[in-house]
């Protein structure tokens, strides 16, 4: 059917040109509306996604049935809706980050670059869950900022001694920044699981620090240990309890199986040092495989017989990260059931970039530890029984 248009000056009657112009204008309005709606929706979705990340907990929950039997509790099967959420959330975050990186500028005109920001965003503590009180965990504190030393982990091994990584006592952690320099005297806090609890009432005074004599050599990672002597013996309680050292014969051989628990103050998801203590159940790794992995990199440790490794774990490849160094890996002896500190975390940079974390094997350093502490560090049944009782109380 052929349409008939009337030429007229009456605005109530459309001419073909006016009709075409009106359709074009209406189309432009709808396009702008959709564009604004997309931007508003993206901002809203980004806010929701950040909220999900803030409140997100891994479906893998670490359950201390007892320290004798550490188990990894599997999640319930997710519903179809949750499956869709897991699929869409990474895409949503990617789209939101791309939008912000490409189109958001501050008042000063500076523009974010996704390619420059991505490496920083990947440097975070990967996974882990908030820890129950870990009674041997110490906070070795230099400052609130990583630029001036930050804070890291340590392990109370008697009522007067804390064992930590040697690099934790320096502002900068690389070998060239520690070689030939004196370590700093840190603040030490015991019995805390939150940064907010690091108050003078929880601080224990430090008498001296002792670096392993082989620490300041040409290798970045050899002998990465230090002992911190406290001025006064601490009062042993359910909040403050030493972890036993290995006894003679307790060693992690090449190809060891099993797992251990590591706690730490590693970096959080917002690029800041953690405000809460976290713990993670990690599998012991094959020594030969770990050694072969790091032989390819000059910036990683040369793994030798005085070290051992753990791997990442779980669906989300959870691992230790910056700031976790100095913490003790607590393991259970398969034959005796004893709990002890198998190692002190040294190489805390796996995050999502490396598979293995590297520890100083404490069974290799017992002569040095006992020489420095001069008998202050007991390997007694009383300490082991106290530790076991504490572990049995960790029910979730």
Q: Give the pLDDT confidence of 298-323 residue by residue, as tens digits.
A: 666 788 889 998 887 655 557 677 77
Most confidently predicted of 246-250, 252-256, 384-388? 246-250
Query: What three-state secondary structure class fits 343?
Result: strand
Instruction: Write out pLDDT tens, residues 321-372.
Output: 777 889 999 998 878 888 899 999 988 775 656 788 899 999 999 999 999 9
pLDDT band at 32 (very low <50, low <70, confident <90, very high): low
Residue 40 pLDDT greater than 90, yes or no: no
- What is the arithmetic mean of pLDDT over 190-217? 90
Average pLDDT of the segment spanning 48-55: 38
Give the Å distances, CA to CA, from 218 to 121, 180, 211, 273, 345.
31, 11, 15, 29, 20
313 vs 316: CA distance, rounded Å: 7
Angle at 40 between CA 37 and CA 42, to 5 degrees: 105
- Our separate counts of H helices and E strands in the chain read 7, 16
According to DSSP, the residues that pair with 331 across neighbouring strands are: 340
Query: What are 106-157's pLDDT values in tens digits?
Result: 322 222 222 222 222 222 344 455 656 789 999 999 887 776 678 889 999 9
- Where is average pLDDT lowest: 224-238, 265-279, 350-364, 365-379? 265-279
Q: Is the whole model's pTM more than 0.85, yes or no?
A: no
Please determine, looking at this structure, whether the domain spanning 129-392 carries the CATH number 2.40.10.10.
yes
Q: How far is 312 from 323, CA to CA, in rounded Å?
A: 17
Give residue 268's pLDDT: 56
**Helix, strand or coil for residue 237?**
coil
- Asked if pLDDT for residue 374 goes beyond 80, the answer is yes
Could you tell me if residue 370 is left (phi over 0), alpha (psi between -120 and 50 degrees) or otherwise beta? alpha
pLDDT of residue 62: 29
221 pLDDT exceeds 90? no
Q: pLDDT per residue over 7-31, tens digit each?
A: 444 444 444 555 556 666 666 666 6
The pLDDT, as a whole number, for residue 50 is 41
Is the model more confident about 339 or about 204? 204
Distance separating alpha carbons of residues 185 and 215, to the nearest angstrom: 17
**What percent of the chain has pLDDT above 90?**
23
In this structure, of 180-194, 218-232, 243-257, the range with the lowest mean pLDDT score is 243-257
Q: Which two tokens stand for residue 259?
A: 């797992």
Parse the chain into domains and list their residue ranges: 129-392
Among 71-85, 185-199, 201-215, 285-299, name the one with the lowest average pLDDT.
71-85
User: What is the structure's pLDDT at 308?
Assistant: 92
Nearest to 244 by CA among 335, 367, 332: 332
CA distance 173 to 325: 11
For 168-198, the pLDDT digits (tens) are 888 776 666 777 778 889 999 999 988 899 9
Predicted pLDDT of residue 359: 92
Q: Which two tokens stand for residue 228?
A: 């911190």
Average pLDDT, the chain: 67
Q: Tokens standing for 369?
A: 């530890």
Tokens coding 133? 């009180």
Q: Please name every residue paired with 341 in a beta bridge, in sequence order, or none if there are none.
A: 330
């Amino acid at each position: 059917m052929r349409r008939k248009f009337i030429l007229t000056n009456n605005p109530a009657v459309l001419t073909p040109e006016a009709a075409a112009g009106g359709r074009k204008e209406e189309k432009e309005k709808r396009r702008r509306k959709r564009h604004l709606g997309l931007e508003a929706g993206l901002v809203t979705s980004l806010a929701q996604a950040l909220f999900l990340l803030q409140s997100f907990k891994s479906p893998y929950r670490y359950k201390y049935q007892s320290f004798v039997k550490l188990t990894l509790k599997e999640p319930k099967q997710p519903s179809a809706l949750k499956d869709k959420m897991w699929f869409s959330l990474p895409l949503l975050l990617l789209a939101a980050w791309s939008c912000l990186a490409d189109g958001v500028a501050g008042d000063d005109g500076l523009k974010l670059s996704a390619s420059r920001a991505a490496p920083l965003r990947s440097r975070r503590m990967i996974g882990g869950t908030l820890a129950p009180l870990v009674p041997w965990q110490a906070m070795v504190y230099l400052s609130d900022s990583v630029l001036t030393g930050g804070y890291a982990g340590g392990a109370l091994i008697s009522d007067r001694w804390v064992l930590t990584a040697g690099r934790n006592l320096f502002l900068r952690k690389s070998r060239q920044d520690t070689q030939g320099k004196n370590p700093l005297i840190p603040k030490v806090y015991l019995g805390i699981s939150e940064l907010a609890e690091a108050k003078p009432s929880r601080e224990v005074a430090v008498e001296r620090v002792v670096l392993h004599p082989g620490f300041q050599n040409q290798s970045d990672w050899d002998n990465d240990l230090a002992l911190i002597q406290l001025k006064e013996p601490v009062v042993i309680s359910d909040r403050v309890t030493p972890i036993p050292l290995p006894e003679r014969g307790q060693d992690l051989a090449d190809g060891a199986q099993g797992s251990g628990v590591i706690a730490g103050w590693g970096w959080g998801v917002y690029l800041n040092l953690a405000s809460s203590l976290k713990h993670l159940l990690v599998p012991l790794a094959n020594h030969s495989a770990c050694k072969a992995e790091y032989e390819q990199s000059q910036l990683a440790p040369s793994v030798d017989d005085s070290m051992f490794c753990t791997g990442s774990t779980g669906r989300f490849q959870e691992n230790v990260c910056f700031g976790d160094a100095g913490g003790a890996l607590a393991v259970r002896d398969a034959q005796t059931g004893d709990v002890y500190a198998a190692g002190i975390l040294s190489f805390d940079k796996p995050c999502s970039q490396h598979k293995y974390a590297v520890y100083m094997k404490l069974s290799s350093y017992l002569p040095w530890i006992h020489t420095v502490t001069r008998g202050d560090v007991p390997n007694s049944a009383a300490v082991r029984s106290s530790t076991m009782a504490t572990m049995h109380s960790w029910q979730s």
